[in-house]
Amino acid sequence: MIDRFNEADTQVLGVSIDSKHSHKNWAESLGGVSYPLLQDFHPKGSMAASYGTYLEDKGFTTRSTVIVDKQGLVQYSVLANGERVISELLAECKKINE
């Protein structure tokens, strides 16, 4: 559905505290991904901490989805329990970009 996100004027990104090598292995295990993967590696979790998703005492982030508008403001944020419903996320992006 990446084309539909592009049509909605949305840039999809994957972000984790893992290294670029971990990202590469993960993407390859899925047969590739159609969006950029960014690392929040050093200082570890600094971006996640700014969104309140880094659990410093545990050394990892909570799995979450954050939608940021073109002005850099968080418009949507939810902890991701299980699989994400991509069509619902697309609908949120469309609402934000209207």
Question: pLDDT tens across 10-51, in order?
Answer: 999 999 999 999 999 999 999 999 999 999 999 999 999 999
What percent of the chain is predicted at pLDDT more than 90?
Answer: 91
Average pLDDT over residues 42-69: 93
Mean pLDDT over each residue of the chain, to the nearest integer? 93
- pLDDT tops 90 at residue 4: yes
**According to the model, what pLDDT value does residue 98 have?**
85
Tokens representing 52 are: 């309140």
Residue 50 carries which side chain, given as an amino acid letter?
S
Mean pLDDT, range 59-84, rounded to an integer? 92
Nearest to 47 by CA among 61, 67, 27: 61
Q: Name the residue range of residue 87's domain.
A: 2-96
Q: How far is CA 9 from CA 3, 69, 91, 94, 95, in A?
A: 10, 10, 12, 8, 11
The CATH number assigned to the domain holding 90 equals 3.40.30.10
Residue 5 neighbours by CB distance under 10 Å: 18
Domain count for the chain, please give it: 1
